[in-house]
Amino acid sequence: MNEFLPVCREDMEQKGIEQLDFICVTGDSYVDHPSFGVSIISRVIEAEGYTVGIIAQPNWRSQKDFTKLGRPKYAFMVTSGNIDSMVAHYTVALRKRTDDAYTAGGKAGKRPDRAVIVYCRKIREIYGDIPIVIGGLEASLRRFAHYDYWDDAVRPSILVDSGADLLSYGMGELQTIEIVGRLAGGEDIHSLTDIRGTCYLTDPVNTPYGGVQCPDFQVVCRDKKNYCKATKIQMDNQDEITGRTVLQRQGDKMLVQNPPMRVLTTEELDRVYALPYTRTYHPMYEELGGVPGIEEVEFSIAHNRGCFGNCNFCSIAFHQGRKIAVRSEESVLREAELLTTLPNFKGYIHDVGGPTANFRQPSCTKQMEKGLCVGKKCLAPTPCKALEVDHRGYLELLREVRAIKGVKKVFIRSGIRYDYMMEDKDDSFFRELVEHHVSGQLKVAPEHCSGDVLDCMGKPHIEVYKAFAEKFYQITKKLGKKQFLVPYLMSSHPGSTLKDAVELALFLKEQGIHPEQVQDFYPTPGTVSTCMFFTGLNPYTMEPVFVPKTPEEKAMQRALLQYFLPKNHALVVKALRQAGRSDLIGTGQKCLVPPLRETYGTAKNAHTQKAGPAKRSTHDGQSGRKNDFGGKKNSGGTKRPVQKGRKQHPFVKRPK
């Protein structure tokens, strides 16, 4: 039976360890499962022959937890956990959350705001100049000067605020192996300036030649056009082949981002998933009821990484990259067989997916030599002519998994890219998806119906979703099944006017869709959409973009997506009048809502109802939604807290 890594002195003594080589500090409870980034990184370090311990959710108000394992021989490795600590703590309406699925017992408050910064400063206070390496989602997405929604201001690189020595961005296995090896070999951490996939601060005189420089931190704070320029430079240099060294002045220091680390090969990714994880939470949490975040990933399998879909509101491309990495069929099948031996397995594999479940090959062959196209998308607004679509490998993998003895059903719950499916001339995958891999509902993400808004999102136009939905229901009917599409929708994204929101409400009425869940756009670091939100400009065209920002404006857009709810009635009426669409208020077939008097009886009553729904509608409405940090099933931090009953990924990712 696999053992957990040391979490206390007693564990060290039992293993005969006097001093640990490395200590990993995380903002999550300790779950030793490959869906948790710190678990992967700690096991990778262990596999290199070093001793490593875990300090999970230390009390940052004292030194006790930070000293319980002693001083590591080489370095501290620090992460906020699977998601950004600010997203973990606050809704899009900036209200404090009461739950945290990555914490034992599910209760919020066990990690600080801006956890990476707080942990690093405490380590510095205790241990002085000991080497500190930061990584995971919070660090990765804040590596440059970035707009911070919670401060409503531009903050410097997290390297500046944390005082850490080195930042590992993206999927960190390869750079971690190089970092720990060189530190153990006696190199000073300040000399590790040539490792791909890392960032560091240096005196300007030591700035390496050949890089592309972003506008300075002080400049992007006051000039939004320069903020856009910096965003475009950063986004355009995340490919392992075309990406250059990126520079940005941070006060009296120069931030250097080395080119991205190469994507893991299939053999390397297989080895990562073959490491000796216990695949559960540490037993010290048993009396608290365990860690909710394990529930949906416990019987799920990640078969890929990366996403060439590259939606503007998602940070997967900025963190994981657009190039697809895949595990071998043999590796996935071994994990599936392992799942059947676990005590709580009931025969159902909840997912064989990833950031985008049906990506199992490059978008085209030329990217393997020339990299992915800079400033272009493979699927939006229309599929690239060079796009190569083939589901045969993924389909064969699913067939083999569902044929394993003890497996009753294999579901796909992570994002399916339906526009990619519609480009496949072979319907085999579509048919078998509907027949074998839908658990009653298939979650997909058209997000909006307005062409202008979808262009700002970097998504295909709504006609593609309509064609997909028609085909889905045709196959479903032919099979005699009762299955449904659950469309994810987003309100208040940059580019979405009140008229666009009305258009979306009419689309929902036409399609007979009554969404139970909608999400207000959450401007998190590391996305093009967040740049639009902050600047009011599209960084790729420099054209103005309308941005809904006031609480009432955002509430009206969100209410229109659920126009059928009585609590939204008064606010929807107000929104329709403001949008010049009073014709949609009435009892006719084409109307969205009846007049206020019909529902509330008197004008006086109607007036008293106005403020209530408007105020309540400013909440994020993300029940069961994944956040827009991008996501994946295996490390770092993708797409907000996990909620029971939903498939979640540490990088919080949302369906495509």
Please report how many Cα atoms fall inside a 13 Å half-sphere around the Cα of residue 396, on the Cβ side.
Answer: 7
Q: Residue 133 forms beta bridges with which residues?
A: 77, 166
CB of 120 within 8 A of CB of 549?
no
Q: Which residues are annotated as a binding site?
A: 307, 311, 314
- The rounded distance, in Å, linking the Cα atoms of 34 and 159 is 26
Tens digits of residue pLDDT in 280-324: 999 999 999 999 999 989 999 999 999 999 999 999 999 999 999
Share of the chain above pLDDT 70, in %: 91
Tens digits of residue pLDDT in 215-254: 999 999 999 999 999 999 999 999 999 999 999 999 999 9
* Mean local confidence (pLDDT), 87-98: 95
- The rounded distance, in Å, linking the Cα atoms of 537 and 203 is 32
Kindly tell me if the per-residue pLDDT of 408 is higher than 90. Answer: yes
Q: Residue 200 forms beta bridges with which residues?
A: 256
For residue 149, what are its two tokens? Answer: 């929604």
Kindly tell me if the per-residue pLDDT of 622 is higher than 50. Answer: no
Q: Which residues are annotated as a binding site for [4Fe-4S] cluster?
A: 307, 311, 314
CA dihedral (497, 499, 504, 509) in degrees, to 10, reads 160
Task: Name the band, by pLDDT with cuts 50, 70 and 90, for residue 2.
Answer: confident
* Mean local confidence (pLDDT), 619-633: 35
Kindly tell me if the per-residue pLDDT of 43 is higher than 60. Answer: yes
* Mean local confidence (pLDDT), 367-393: 95
* Mean local confidence (pLDDT), 571-578: 97
pTM beyond 0.75, yes or no: yes
- The rounded distance, in Å, linking the Cα atoms of 116 and 433 is 41
SS3 content of the chain, % helix, strand, coil (to 5): 35, 15, 50
Kindly tell me if the per-residue pLDDT of 574 is higher than 70. Answer: yes
Task: Name the band, by pLDDT with cuts 50, 70 and 90, for residue 584.
Answer: very high
Determine the pLDDT at residue 488. Answer: 92
* Mean local confidence (pLDDT), 432-441: 95
Query: At 577, phi and psi to the nearest 5?
Result: -65, -45
For residue 100, what are its two tokens? Answer: 């945290």
Task: Name the band, by pLDDT with cuts 50, 70 and 90, for residue 516.
Answer: confident
**Is-cis flag, bond preceding 381, omega within 30?**
yes
In this predicted model, which residue has the larger pLDDT, 597 or 451?
451
Provide the mean pLDDT of the chain. 91
- How would you write 502-562 as a 3-class SS string? HHHHHHHHHHCCCCCCCEECCCCCCCHHHHHHHHCECCCCCCECCCCCCHHHHHHHHHHHC
Kindly tell me if the per-residue pLDDT of 279 is higher than 70. Answer: yes
In this predicted model, which residue has the larger pLDDT, 627 or 106?
106
Determine the pLDDT at residue 4. Answer: 98
Q: Residue 410 forms beta bridges with which residues?
A: 349
* Mean local confidence (pLDDT), 122-151: 97
Task: Name the band, by pLDDT with cuts 50, 70 and 90, for residue 634.
Answer: very low
Nearest to 612 by CA among 601, 600, 602: 600
Whole-angstrom CA distances from 245 to 42, 253, 256 are: 28, 16, 7
Going from the N-terminus, what domains does the chain have, and what CATH number goes with each?
A: 9-257 (3.40.50.280)
CB of 348 within 8 A of CB of 409?
yes
DSSP for residue 170:
S
CB of 129 within 8 A of CB of 621?
no
Nearest to 566 by CA among 520, 514, 521: 514
- The rounded distance, in Å, linking the Cα atoms of 379 and 357 is 15
